[in-house]
Amino acid sequence: MKTTLLLAALPAATIALPTWPWNKPHGHNKPLKYSGLDVLAKRAGLKYFGTAIDNVVLDNPTYISIAHNRSEFGQVTPSNGQKWMYIEPVQNKFNFTLGDQITVPAKKKGQLRRCHNFVWHNQLPDWLTGRNWTKPELVKVLENHIKHEAKHYYNDCIAWDVVNEAFEDDAVASLRKDIWLDVIGKEYIELAFKFARKYTKPGTKLYYNDYAIERVNNKSRAVAALVKDFKKRHIPIDGVGLQAHYTVGRAPSYDEQLATHKLFSDLGVETALTELDVRIQLPDNATLQAQQGAVYANSTKACLDADDCVGITVWDFWDPVSWVPSTFPGFGNADIWDANFTKKPAYYAISDLLRSYD
């Protein structure tokens, strides 16, 4: 199975179960009218609650019926199909099939689309990484790729993750050593945003997206410095995506997350939780699932209480297609539906928290 290779190493934190309504034994005295997560999120003031969708599971009708249920998910993100290795597998030969398999049905169902991504150090084709480029050559390659992909999805994307994971996890949050930095230099980031603004539809939100920036730490401060510099020099940037790949027992608190949203909103950009999941160290049990629900609820509440957090996207919703087990051996069950397509306590944690804002 192809998975998104995002290595989220989060510092330890103690999770305390909150006292919100969902933390009571689930089951109401009388039936409640059903409302999916997106309906509840919009009532609570968000623009969307969404999910990533990967192409490997498109032949499963039960999965598809949930993924494109607009009541549950008002927005979708192609988790892999818009990445460089699939979009431009041969230089200047573009193939939008995998991206379209996600965006076209979503558009028909009236779901918003977040698009992911233009520039990343990973999942690049061999023709790009397997030769030496001059700086002018690689700048032209970068612009050409963004131009063609942005134009193909011109009417499809409310937002683009323009640059993904440009910072390292070292003590000083230095820029990641990759083909872009090595050949073009640090200005590749601003060039990507300039090209994105040039070729995307006016009004499309341009995001910087990264993991382990959900606390105020060296990495999130480095991203904030980038945003501040861009704003000062009028480089287009509209948002920061907090990937939010969390672990039960090590996730940031509500207060820590709210402070991070404020760090970016104070700079005049919106935020979103772009890849939310919460992995459990296996074997799973009811206590861990309750703690997982607390993390999902904390994250949802922080977004709702932030000034400019616009929405939440879970990084898929069904445990069997999660990227977690292949990347973090011994961990899993990170999503909000289990293998039997049963809603987990985490689903109800989110749902009941959103209801409390209605």
Q: What's 320's DSSP letter?
A: G
Q: What is the CA 240 to chain-centroid distance, rounded? A: 10
Rounded CA separation 123/87 (Å): 11
Ramachandran angles phi, psi of 122, nearest 5°: -115, 165
Rounded CA separation 311/114 (Å): 11
Write down the H helix ranges in 75-134. 84-87, 97-108, 126-129
The structure tokens listed for 180 are: 């872009």
Q: Which among 72, 88, 165, 214 is annotated as catalytic?
A: 165
Rounded CA separation 30/169 (Å): 49
The structure tokens listed for 41 are: 């999120």
Residues 285/290/291/297 CA torsion (nearest 10 deg): 150
- Sign for the pseudo-dihedral over CA of 51, 57, 58, 61: negative
ω into 69 cis (within 30 of 0) = no
Give ∠ CA 265-269-271 in degrees, rounded to 5: 75
Q: Are strands 239-242 and 159-164 parallel, antiparallel or unpaired?
A: unpaired
- Identify whether 187 is a catalytic site residue: no
Q: Which among 72, 88, 149, 275 is annotated as catalytic?
A: 275
- Identify whether 275 is a catalytic site residue: yes
Asked if residue 335 lies in contact with residue 314, where contact means CB atoms within 8 angstroms, the answer is yes
State the catalytic residues. Answer: 165, 275
